[in-house]
Copies of this chain bind each other. A is one copy, B any other.
Amino acid sequence: MAHPADVSALVELFDSGLPARDVLCVLGKTEGNGCVNDFTRGYATLAVKLALAERLGVTPDEVGRRVALIMSGGTEGVLAPHFLVFGRIAEGAPRPGVKALAIGCAFTRDFRPEELGRRAQIEATAEAVRGAMAEAAIDGPEDVHFVQIKCPLLTAGRMAEAAARGASVAVEETYASMGLSRGASALGVALALGEIASAPGDAAVCRDFSLYSTRASTSAGVELLRNEVMVLGNSAAWGGELAIVHDVMADAIDAGAFGRALASAGLDARDPASRRRVVALLAKAEPARSGRIRDERHVMLDDSDINATRHARAAVGGVLAGALGATRIYVSGGAEHQGPEGGGPLALILRRA
């Protein structure tokens, strides 16, 4: 996209035959700061809604109810702003013995403010992940490779409503509630995928970072009250030429995760033909809270001029662009309980042959 509201490529997709009604989800990497006052997310969301509304003959609001629109701000360094459009189209029958890329969506109920960032959110999220897996006909956790979640946050109004009922919320700052909601949502994925044995207590959220999912990618938004879940995996019930694999970056410079993920599909990161089969690369990035990477100091957390998440996206974007040899990469910040402390999940959508 040439700017956040540039939906010309999406319109071209429709013109070239993709039915707008088959679009399930649009994941966007927009060029704002990815932090509190990043309005490129809202701007892109509005532009995509208008484009879909015109094609579907419905209102923009109705589009918002039908299609998951998830915009992640921040294309620091070499990263290219782009949309990833996920659709379910009626071509390509399943081939026996071959699992293909499968998508499933599900929602939790609306959360009460006092549930956010706590066990209640973890458990409801896990249930929704299981529901999305079932909807996608994904057999089991080992076939799930990426779970994208959009989750709510606490606003002054929601906190006041809880207080009026005598309920106490997990934290009283809006910004901190975003981390807690992302963290609890990621723990919900970990629970559904068996990465943790049971739902941890409230106190573990954003505290005990030894608990994490290797496949969760969560982002918080003010416009919803429930968790919206998109599961990406492989399923024998699906056809098409795509499949998905994943691995985990142990830290911010673990370029090897890219090679390991490719290798899990029998491909070789040193082979350009293998790399060209990567249709999308999705990853999470964060600055190590220890202030160190492999024993050397980093300054990301101490820089009052550039937000730490911007540093992290720029650097991890460089690590992965260097490995892949391309810059159209979805790197998103805010990785609480998403991969190990300082690292993060990485998924590749691959084209067969």
**A contacts, CB < 8 Å to B:** 2-5, 31-33, 35-40, 42-43, 46-47, 75-82, 252-255, 270, 293-294, 296-300, 302-307, 310-312, 314-323, 325-328
Contacts and interface: CB of A to CB of B under 8 A. Distances in A.
B310 A253 contact: no
Q: Which of A42, A46, A327 has the most chain B CB atoms inside 10 A of its CB? A: A327
Nearest to A310: B306
Given A36-B303, A46-B47, 19 more contacts: A3-B39, A5-B43, A35-B305, A43-B43, A76-B306, A76-B315, A77-B252, A77-B315, A78-B293, A78-B300, A79-B298, A252-B321, A253-B318, A253-B326, A255-B323, A294-B326, A305-B307, A306-B306, A318-B318
Contacts of A327: 253, 293-294, 296, 298
Chain A interface helix/strand/loop/mixed: loop
Contact of A328 (B75, B81, B296): B296
Q: How many copies of this chain does one complex carry?
A: 4
Nearest to A222: B3
A253 B43 contact: no
21 contacts: A4-B39, A31-B299, A32-B39, A36-B304, A37-B304, A43-B46, A76-B311, A77-B312, A77-B315, A78-B300, A81-B297, A253-B318, A255-B255, A296-B327, A298-B327, A305-B307, A314-B314, A316-B318, A318-B321, A322-B322, A322-B323
